[in-house]
């Protein structure tokens, strides 16, 4: 989505998307080094929260054309799928 409008709002929202989406991966890596079951569950919850936040920020990006809209929708779908995966992991962890 390199062609999104370079408005102040889009620039700030893009920064937030980068932060929250990067946090998903970083926290998931940390789950592999969890010190306890409680730590594992907490990190998975953080991953789920960051995926939800990424979805929110992606919805706020203003797009120029249909192709960018399609790309944005694919990213929203991907972050939604990640939320579902993390929710499933949490359910199985109980």
Per-residue pLDDT, 61? 94
Instruction: Give yes or no for residue 67 having a pLDDT over 80.
Output: yes
CA distance 33 to 41: 12
Q: Which CATH class is domain 8-92?
A: mainly alpha
What does the pLDDT average to over 42-71? 95
pLDDT tops 90 at residue 1: no
The residues spanned by each domain of the chain are 8-92
- Ramachandran area for residue 5 (φ above 0: left; ψ -120 to 50: alpha; else beta): beta
Asked if residue 64 has pLDDT above 70, the reply is yes
Please give the pLDDT value at position 72: 94
Determine the pLDDT at residue 2.
61
Report pLDDT digits (tens) over 3-52: 778 899 999 999 999 999 999 999 999 999 999 999 999 999 999 999 99
């Amino acid at each position: 989505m390199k062609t999104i409008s370079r408005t102040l709002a889009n620039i700030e929202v893009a920064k937030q998307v980068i932060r929250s989406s990067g946090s998903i991966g970083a926290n998931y890596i940390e789950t592999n080094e969890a010190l306890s079951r409680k730590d594992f569950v907490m990190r998975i919850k953080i991953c789920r929260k960051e995926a939800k936040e990424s979805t929110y920020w992606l919805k706020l990006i203003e797009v120029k054309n249909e192709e960018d809209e399609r790309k944005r929708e694919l990213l929203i779908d991907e972050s939604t799928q990640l939320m579902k995966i993390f929710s499933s992991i949490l359910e199985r962890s109980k």
